[in-house]
Amino acid sequence: MQGFVIGLDVGTSGVRAVAVDGAGTILGSGAAQLPATRVEGARREQSPEDWWNGCRTALDELSKVLDLAGTRAIAVDATSGTILPVDNHNRPLALARMYDDADTGELAAKIKSLAPRESAAHGATSPVARALGWVNLPRLHCIIHQADWINGCLGATNWQTDENNALKTGYDPMARTWPAWLKEFGLAPGLLPEVVPVGTPIGEVSGQAGIALGIPAGIPIIAGTTDGCANFLASGAARPGDASTALGSTLVLKVMCDRPIFAPELGIYSHRLGDHWLAGGASNCGGKTLLQFFDQNQLAQLEAKMNPEKATGLDFYPLPSVGERFPVADAKLSPRLTPRPADDAQFLQGIYEALARIEQQGYARLHELGGPALLSVRHGGGGARSATWMKLREASLGVELTPTWSEEAAAGAARLAWRGLGHELPLA
């Protein structure tokens, strides 16, 4: 396939742009930092204009290594659950409220009384709860997601969102509609965007956006996804049974399925990805615990002193604080990190062994709930730097550990951009 596409990843702290050709080769990338989130109590807000400026900077950086005139399409992923109100010209009517904004008072209880158990709209950080405060704004035309607003800046004019970004705003992915309970809650259907499958063409880059970003006007804008789903797509997973683990602050497991899994008590819900579903869960254990004891330099130094062939025998459950959500839901579960050996390398290996057990238990739980048997597992996040952790995982999971295609969520968005052009990248 001639030319390349661009994926834009709009996160909390920065924007990444990645160019990918039709063979799946990553041709270059650009990045930009975003101003810090404005924090006041439980409220978390950002200026949408900062996101657009970040897109311009990231694409300007990309243009230093690649002539953007060869761009054939563009797709955006962004943080799941970040929303903002706009007028009919896509102008923000308030600061955007972020995915982790929990300033919602008693509204979570009201949602619980209306929404089905399996809805992803539950919880104190529900976008549905945040959106309710805007319904009476003068000139309000639509309440949209972070990715939707960037698409509007690019030139999309039909007020559309993708099925993944819509999920936490109450969208029913089984019926493929905004459910009736949202109207009863106070959100009229006309205040929310039309929902389309990921990878759907939703407009063309406008002349104004093309000039601002240095990309060709008229190229297709493709409906993207959330940052979490984009990270999964960037792993290269393609078949039911392909999974991806990310060891970041927490341990996040995702597996492609041929049917959805909903277990809200474990934090499990499912996104639509083409003809398949993406189900997953996240343990509170992860890098946050490691960094309570070691910095990055210490982790690297201790790596050479560990022996994954010889088990420590330590029975740890390395939570950073009280409470676990997956693979077990226990709000009172306490961290278990004793007895601590005098040898730091042995202590660290004991934590890695525990993380490997939790990963295995997590995938087993997803299988028990109707997910497929594992065929392969890819890995993202900083944990891939530990050879010990990787060896322990391989022994625990008993399946092939497949190299990740890219650790850039923007590459996952680019994969959808190619899909919108009718081309599937040869990654499997």
- Tokens of residue 177, six digits: 């509609």
Which residue did the predictor score with more confidence, 49 or 2?
49
State the average pLDDT over residues 34-39. 96
Mean per-residue pLDDT, 345-371: 97
* Cα distance between residue 319 and residue 226, in whole Å: 26
Q: Hey, do 4-230+409-420 and 239-401 end up sharing a CATH topology, with the first three levels equal?
A: yes
- Res 140 pLDDT > 80: yes
pLDDT band for position 379 (cuts 50, 70, 90)? confident
Residue 384: what pLDDT?
Answer: 66
Inform me whether the pLDDT recorded for 382 exceeds 70: no
DSSP assignment of 343-356, as one string?
-HHHHHHHHHHHHH
Predicted local distance difference test score (pLDDT) of residue 262: 92
In percent, how much of the chain has pLDDT > 90?
92
CATH number for the domain running over 4-230+409-420: 3.30.420.40
pLDDT at 92 > cutoff 80 = yes
Mean pLDDT of 232-254: 93
pLDDT of residue 427: 84
The residue-averaged pLDDT of 213-219 equals 98
Q: Once rounded to an integer, what is the mean pLDDT over residues 328-334?
A: 94
Tell me how far CA of residue 278 lies from CA of 166, 233, 254, 290, in angstroms: 15, 10, 7, 28
- Least confident range from 179-183, 214-218, 282-286: namely 282-286
For the domain 239-401, what is the CATH code? Answer: 3.30.420.40
pLDDT confidence of 241, banded at 50, 70, 90?
very high
Q: Is 254 helix (H, G, I), strand (E, B) or coil?
A: strand
Q: pLDDT-derived band of residue 61, with 50, 70 and 90 as boundaries?
A: very high
For range 223-227, the mean pLDDT? 96
pLDDT tens digit sequence for 168-205: 999 999 999 999 999 999 999 899 999 999 999 999 99
Sign of CA dihedral 327, 332, 333, 334: positive
The neighbouring-strand residues paired with 220 are 204
Q: Report the pLDDT value the prediction gives residue 386, as an integer from 0 to 100.
A: 86
User: What pLDDT is attached to residue 363?
Assistant: 97
% of the chain at pLDDT higher than 70: 99
- Ramachandran area for residue 65 (φ above 0: left; ψ -120 to 50: alpha; else beta): alpha
- Retrieve residue 1's tokens: 């396939």
| Residue 247: pLDDT band with limits 50, 70, 90 | confident
- Structure pTM? 0.93
Q: What is the DSSP secondary structure assignment for residue 400, as one 8-state letter?
A: E
pLDDT for 239 equals 94
Quick one: pLDDT band at residue 219, thresholds 50, 70, 90?
very high
Residue 178 CB coordination number (10 Å): 22
pLDDT band at 329 (very low <50, low <70, confident <90, very high): very high
Over range 295-303, report the average pLDDT: 93
Q: What is the pLDDT of residue 383?
A: 66
For residue 381, pLDDT over 80 is answered with no
Question: Over 70: is that where the pLDDT of 428 sits?
Answer: no
Over the chain, what is the mean pLDDT? Answer: 95
- Burial of residue 332 (CB within 10 Å: 0-12, 13-18, 19+) is exposed
- The residue ranges of every structural domain in the chain are 4-230+409-420, 239-401
In tens, the pLDDT along 262-281 reads 998 898 999 999 899 999 99
Q: Is 44 helix (H, G, I), strand (E, B) or coil?
A: strand
